[in-house]
Amino acid sequence: MGSERARRIVHALTLCIAGGAVALAAIRGLYATGLLAALIAIWVAALGLVDRSLPAPVLAPPPGAVPDEEERRRLIAYLDLSPAPLVALDDNRLSAVNRAARVLLGVGDLVPDPPATLLAALSDTRPGRTATIDLGKGGDIRSFALTTGDLALSGRRTRIGALIDIDAELKAAEAAALRELVQVLSHETVNALTPIVSLADTAVTMLDDPVPPLPQIREAIETVARRAASLHRFGESYRSLARLPPPAPQRIAVLQFASDLAKLFATRWPAIALTVETQNAPAYLIADPDQLTAALWAILQNAAEALHETRNARIVLDVTAHVGRTVITIVDNGPGISSTDETDIFRPFFTTKSQGTGIGLSLARQILRGHSGDLTLASSSPGKTAFEATIPG
């Protein structure tokens, strides 16, 4: 009986934690983490089904040990290994289940003065749902994702809650993003400066000749100037990405907005046919018109540059209203994006073009996410590449 009770408790708590990790990962875009947590949850659930379908083996307890006490100690040891604080609510009594919860709440097993927000969230959050709460004292207030599970023992229901530290997850993600950004910046800067240093040194050496070769010196200096200008453009691109202001939403008439964009495109790329489809578009959008123009222009420019060697080059811009959102799809008939590059195209400064800055798609995605939307690569194959921009409303 003790073994079955312990197994059920571990099963419920593990599902609770895995469910919280899935929800948090989905909210924060950590899709690999979400997939792993989902697999863990499925695995544990499968074990629960298997355990119910097969008779439990009878194991002899160690000499002199009480079975229930042995299982209780083993369960406590398992739970104390969990980094996620686990709490239990039973008849309005809150208990800290493991060491992480005792440290967080600064109590022993029983919480004599439980935070009202935690009690309310535990009572109101049904199993399978996730709530966000703030816990802490003084200046150390942290945000947690709360997920719950119900456990029935001896005819009584106990609600189990797992607290996932959102701030810790965000700090880890920010640190990883910062490391990647520093690597990209240092790589691009060194690549630009290396030929500048070499050519400048060559020009100085040539000036020391009795009869300086002026044409070669001019060529070296002009190359240095071009490389310095390229480095300057790179710096400006980074600044535009880093200093993007928050959007100032306005009511935008979709037909007029799309028509203006098409006219600009025809002026810039007259050899490429742009078709604008607005039959299923909403009458209005709520967005920052300048930022939305910049985002869509970056996608169109990316498509136009991919079509420079394509015969009968054409692009379709389709605006379609869906429930709660508007989808703007931009499709071109270019060569497509290499499968090895699909995961990198939104990374800042990644480019496959000799004169590209690698900022356009990254900036476009940042603008759309600033509007609570997103930009994704819907599909890509030779002859058809489609990007989807979504905006709420």
**Tens digit of each residue's pLDDT (9 = 90 or more) over 71-103:** 767 777 777 777 778 888 887 788 888 888 888
146 closest CA partner among 159, 126, 128, 161: 161
For 217-230, give one letter per residue: b (16+ CB within 10 A) or e: beebeebbeebeeb
Please indicate whether residue 46 or residue 297 has the higher confidence score (pLDDT).
297
243 by DSSP, 3-state: which?
A: coil
Higher-scoring residue by pLDDT: 103, 189: 103
Q: What is the pLDDT of residue 345?
A: 77
Assign 153 to helix, strand or coil. Answer: strand
CB 289 within 8 A of CB 247: no
**Mean of the per-residue pLDDT values for the chain?**
74
CATH 3.40.250.10 assigned to 2-165: no
Confidence of residue 327 (pLDDT cuts 50, 70, 90): very high
Beta carbons of 129 and 147 less than 8 angstroms apart: yes
User: Is pLDDT at 182 greater than 70 in this prediction?
Assistant: no
Q: Using alpha carbons only, what angle is made at residue 382 by residues 379 and 388, rounded to the nearest 5 degrees?
A: 25
Residues 60-70 have pLDDT tens digits of 445 554 556 67
Taking a C-beta distance cutoff of 8 angstroms, is the pair 359, 240 a contact? yes
Q: What are the sequence ranges of the domains in the chain? A: 2-165, 172-242, 250-392
Strand ranges inside 154-283, DSSP E: 156-165, 250-253, 273-277
Q: Give the separation between CA 132 and CA 130, rounded to whole angstroms.
A: 7
Fold classification of 250-392 (topology level): Heat Shock Protein 90 (3.30.565)
> What three-state secondary structure class fits 142?
strand
Residue 181 in this model has a pLDDT that exceeds 60 = no
Q: In the prediction, which pLDDT does 51 show?
A: 39
Over residues 28-72, the pLDDT tens digits come to 444 344 433 443 343 344 434 333 333 444 444 455 545 566 776
Which phi and psi (to 5°) does residue 269 adopt? Answer: -130, 75
Q: Any bridge partners for residue 157, and if so which?
A: 152
**SS3 of 122, please?**
helix
Structure tokens, 148 = 């719950």
